[in-house]
Chains A and B, each alone.
Chain A
């Protein structure tokens, strides 16, 4: 509230003058001698109390009259919270702008996006503040790529520039966290309070499910939500729901499939195109049709040419909402990997050929090498093999030795180990190390070949051999000779192939980070028909590259969330971007930044290095919006919700709020009314009962009597 003629306000104490005069005057009680009190005793005692009441009312009216007149003369102007704009009082304003993916949709009645409308209005609001007012900007989704710098200052131009830099994200924001950051600004820069103006579409995913902690709400801070109305979707909206890396170690020169899961969240049938691009400038596009509320998975082929970190990004074209259409994937491609076979080549049947047809890794990036058992550790330390193939005969001689411990350490550090019968030598008897989780029984030969069964069809081991219908396309494997495996129930080795579960021929299980494959049959045509089957090559690759979860599928995050990294090292974690928003961040593992858009990143924690992939939030195109005047996330915290129709009307509201309402006329009218009341109260009273009762006036009147005579004797 402001006063154009403030000196009149200093005269306000004069309003108390009537009561002062009254108190002074009422002390003057006069004395009078009268002939009798009989007529005074007969008067109505209520008259005295009525007189006092009317007297006080008269005093109040006179005080009010003086006060109202002075206030009117002071030309007061009050800055009303018109249109929900809390701009009065001590000006300190934080604009909280919803930069989540949903804000990229067009606003109702406008060709602009909701984010553009929000930015324009927020900039107008900041630009309208007084010179000394503090202003700051907070984004719903913390966007490190923008660098708004959450602070408050009197430099409104800097704040407006920061607002202008805001770009749409592909994230789902956290309204409660953003509000807490805005409140924190008031604690740091304006403890006396101010106002938070939130420009948002009030998407349920962001403002519905969590409640703000009342302890972080600063006193004296008004909260005003400016709702940007969302235009309802009337056509297809396909979002990328997931991106799946190949479930194996990736070697250079080999093709791999990246699965992209898409879902149509719109009301109409979608006919869209899935585009892809990788770091080697390989681009691709596939068209797909998806019915409403249906999912489809498309595969994107990647073929890294060299070892190192690679990325591929995919995006959907042709639907009505873009912010949920993006995904990226980072993966690591290993160097050509040696496979160390302990023993002579002839002992392993056709396995070496399946691993590398030419023996130089030309097609498979696997390079077989042979060594004696006593050379194993030295050779492996020199060039770490991706797979060590060991015969049961050699394994039975290891138990309790130093090589046994080394071998276990190798597997647990991530190496793969295959134990297979030798095609040449017979078992020497004894037991293989117990940590392997299984022992072969005596060899058994069948006069006629017996078919082997796939035992655990759902195992990830079979993923690369599984067809579109989910069935394992291995074909029928016939065994002539085998050594059934006795699996240790404590070692969690999963049966994969066998004559039923009673005679398991192939089993696998994780041992630390590596995988142990136990085979009860040699890969030779005298043992079974596998070497003559095409899937055998794929099977050999699976064994070499690992049957468990691939190391490079570390994490696929949804935009708007921070990575939850576990680092045992004291060194800071460093995150570098491969594609997407540029990022070179280093800091504690527990404080990683929020990823605002899809992208591919590498994470280095000490000597460990891994990949991080981010896809757009599929909630942004599907979540509903909060209606009504209460925002659930605010809980019991007072707040107002207004509708941001367009920038022009917002500017008009702003101008009204800034100009305020002139109180001169209302105060003058009130003063006149008070004057009328004062006059009415001051009128001489007739005795109430006379007029009301219609009582007949007595025949004799004292006034008449008083008129009798007139002259002195």
Chain B
């Protein structure tokens, strides 16, 4: 589909490696088109569900003649209705996502690779997808598309995304929950650098609305390890607040706080029924997506 070097965040080599990989959902989804994923209603899709006796009014073409030949009974085969998925990729473009310390790229760049790959996977398996960018609110929400042609504008849009504003994940997720209709798949790609309780409230809102939520928690290796030493005046990217610390002195305490924070986020996601994947920007995007596909 895509030509070599055309899309920054979906290079050909990456698209080739993603080919054949699938994404499943845990919940039953609403869909307008027949697809790979179960619908809450029974229908005439290909996945067998059960037999029931024929009743007048049933279409003659749904009688299972092979059963009639063996049992001399008219039975109707019922199938699970299979629909396509509406997958919304929520990309955090708040200013903290522009951080890069020891990783190969900024968190936003990595998240963009991840979003492109995720959308490509969805279209590739016949589902429809949409890109939603947010910081303190929804900044951009593309129309759903189920074709590679429709995917192109979103891939182009990713290339123009910049992290300039202060973020508010909870508020943005509440807004997304209002704007995403029905039971859909939501892929949240963010560094979640907010009070975990607040961020989890937004996730919980999405899950409560019936969304199948997957959280990609993207962090830089520098944030995970704090691999520097010395006395620093540290400035926060979003708030511009400054603080003088001896990194070597407080590293242990920092990592301890980080562990507690990550544990709280992971536990919170698990409790509300969302999938949680911590992502180090050193990790290859394909491996991260493969981890998502392997979880179902």
Interface residues of A (CB under 8 A from B): 26, 28-44, 47-48, 51, 684-687, 690, 698-703, 705-706, 708-713
Given A37-B241, A708-B280, A713-B284, also A48-B246 (CB < 8 A): yes
The interface stretch among B59-67, B81-89, B206-214, B247-255 is B247-255
A667 to chain B, nearest CB (A): 33
| CB-contacts of B72-128 with A (<8 A) | 96, 99, 101, 104, 107, 110, 113
A-B contact pairs, 18 of them (CB 8 A): A30-B230, A30-B231, A30-B233, A32-B228, A33-B235, A35-B96, A35-B237, A37-B243, A38-B195, A40-B254, A43-B245, A43-B253, A684-B248, A702-B225, A702-B255, A708-B279, A711-B284, A712-B282
* B284 partner residues in chain A, CB cutoff 8 A: 709-713
B74 to chain A, nearest CB (A): 56
Verify A708–B252 contact, CB threshold 8 A: no
* B280 partner residues in chain A, CB cutoff 8 A: 705-706, 708-709
Q: Which residue of A lies closest to B249 (CB)?
A: A51
Tally B residues with Cβ within 8 Å of A: 59
- Where chain A touches its partner, the secondary structure class is loop
Given A42-B257, A705-B224, also A32-B244 (CB < 8 A): no
- Give the complex CA separation of A37 and B233 in angstroms: 11
Verify A39–B228 contact, CB threshold 8 A: no
B6 to chain A, nearest CB (A): 17
Pick from A28, A684, A687: contact of B231, CB under 8 Å: A28
Given A51-B249, A706-B221, A709-B288, also A39-B254 (CB < 8 A): yes
* A26 partner residues in chain B, CB cutoff 8 A: 231
* CB of B266 within 8 Å of the partner chain: yes
Verify A699–B263 contact, CB threshold 8 A: yes
* B294 partner residues in chain A, CB cutoff 8 A: none
A693 to chain B, nearest CB (A): 12
A38 to chain B, nearest CB (A): 7
Verify B236–A32 contact, CB threshold 8 A: no
Verify B236–A713 contact, CB threshold 8 A: no
* A41 partner residues in chain B, CB cutoff 8 A: 243
Verify B250–A37 contact, CB threshold 8 A: no
**3 nearest A-B pairs in the assembled complex, by CB-CB distance:** A709-B283, A713-B285, A43-B253
B91 to chain A, nearest CB (A): 16
A493 to chain B, nearest CB (A): 111
* CB of B278 within 8 Å of the partner chain: yes
Verify B278–A34 contact, CB threshold 8 A: no
* A706 partner residues in chain B, CB cutoff 8 A: 221, 224-225, 280, 282
Pick from A29, A42, A710: contact of B244, CB under 8 Å: A29
Q: Which residue of B lies closest to A711 (CB)?
A: B284
A33 to chain B, nearest CB (A): 5
* CB of B234 within 8 Å of the partner chain: yes
* CB of B259 within 8 Å of the partner chain: yes
Given A34-B234, A37-B236, also A712-B221 (CB < 8 A): no
* A29 partner residues in chain B, CB cutoff 8 A: 231-233, 244
- Given A32-B234, A40-B254, A698-B262, 9 other A-B residues pairs in contact with their CB atoms under 8 A: A30-B230, A31-B235, A35-B96, A47-B249, A698-B259, A703-B225, A703-B255, A706-B282, A712-B104
